[in-house]
Structure 1
Amino acid sequence: MTKKREYKDNYPRKKLYIPGPTEVRDDVIEEMAQPMFGHRMDRMTDLYTTIVEDTKEFLGTDHNLMILTASGTEFWEASTLNLVDENILCTTCGSFSERHANVAERLGKNVDRLEYEWGQAVKPEDVREVLESSDKHYDVVSCVMNESSTGVRNPIEEIGDVVAEYPETYFVVDAVSALGGDYVDIDEHNIDVIFASTQKAFAMPPGLAVCVVSDEAYDREVTTDSASWYGGFQRAFDYYDRKGQTHSTPAIPIMLAYRKQMKYMLDEGHKGRSDRHAEMAEYTRDWASQYFEMFPEEGYESQTVACIENTHGIDVAGTIKQVNEEYDMAFSNGYGSVLGEKTFRIGHMGEHTVDSIKELTDAIEDVAGL
Structure 2
Amino acid sequence: MTEKREYRDDYPNKTLYLPGPTEVREDVIEAMAEPMFGHRMDRMTDLYTTIVEDTKEFLGTDNDVIVLTASGTEFWEATTLNLVDDGGVLCPTSGSFSERQANVAERLGKDVDRIEYEWGAAVKPEDVREALEASDDGYDAVTVVMNETSTGVRNPIEEIGDVVADYPDTYFVVDAISALGGDYVDIEAHGIDAIFTSVQKAFAMPPGLAVCVVSDDAYEREVEKDTSSWYGGFRRCIDYYDRKGQTHSTPAIPLMLAYRQQMKHMLEETHAARDERHREMAEYTREWAREHFDLFAEEGYESRTVTCIENTQGIDVADTIETVSEEYDMVFSNGYGDIGEETFRIGHMGEHTVESIEALTDAIEDVADL
Distance in 2, Cα, partners of 1:253 & 1:179: 22
**Matches of residues 160-199 of structure 1 in structure 2 within 5 Å?**
160-199=161-200
Amino acid at match of 2:45: T
**C-alpha root-mean-square deviation of aligned residues, in Å?**
0.5
Q: Any stretches of 5+ residues in structure 2 without a counterpart?
A: none
Matched, 1:21 2:18: no
**Per-residue CA distance 1:125-159 (angstroms, 9 max, x = gap):** 10000101121320000000000000000000000
Amino acid at match of 2:40: R
Q: What is the distance in 1 between the residues matched to 2:191 and 2:97?
A: 22
2-structure distance, mates of 1:231, 1:137: 25
* CA deviation map 1:246-265 (0-9, x unaligned): 00000000000000000000
Equivalences for residues 135-214 of structure 1 within 5 A: 135-214=136-215
Letter in 1 for 2:116: E
- The amino acid of 1:199's aligned partner reads Q
Name the residue aligned to 2:340: 340
Aligned length: 369
Residues in 1 aligned to 2:272 and 2:159: alpha-carbon distance in whole angstroms: 19
TM-score (normalised: structure 2): 0.99
Write the mapping of 1:253-268 to structure 2, written as runs, cut at 5 A: 253-268=254-269
**Structure 2 SS opposite 1:195:** strand
Regions of 4+ moved over 3 Å: none
Are positions 1:216 and 2:217 aligned together? yes
Cα deviations by residue, 1:317-341 (Å, 9 ceiling, x for unpaired): 11000000000000000002x1011
Shift of 1:275: 0.4
Secondary structure at the residue paired with 1:364?
Answer: helix
Question: In 2, distance between residues paired with 1:229 and 1:170?
Answer: 20
CA-CA distance at 1:310 after TM superposition: 0.2
CA distance in structure 2 between the aligned counterparts of 1:133 and 1:106, rounded to whole angstroms: 25
Separation in 1, partners of 2:364, 2:288:
11
The whole-number CA distance in structure 2 between the counterparts of 1:28 and 1:182 is 21
Aligned counterparts of 2:116 and 2:137: Cα–Cα separation in 1: 18
Question: C-alpha distance in 2, partners of 1:14/1:225?
Answer: 48
How far apart, CA to CA, are the structure 1 residues paired with 2:44 and 2:308? Answer: 40
Per-residue Cα deviation, 1:34-68 (whole angstroms, up to 9, x for no partner): 00000000000000000000000000000010100
Q: CA deviation at 1:226?
A: 1.6
Distance 1:202 1:14 in 2: 19
Partner of 1:5: 5
The TM-score normalised by the length of structure 1 is 0.99
Q: Per-residue deviation at 1:220?
A: 0.2
Provide the C-alpha distance between the structure 1 equivalents of 2:42 and 2:259, rounded to a whole number of angstroms: 18
Matches within 5 A, 1:43-122: 43-86=43-86, 87-122=88-123
DSSP 3-state at the match of 1:220: helix
1:180 offset after TM fit, Å? 0.2
Q: What 5-or-longer segments of structure 1 have no aligned partner?
A: none
Q: Deviations over 1:83-138 (max 9, x none)?
A: 00021000110000000000000000000001110000000010000101121320
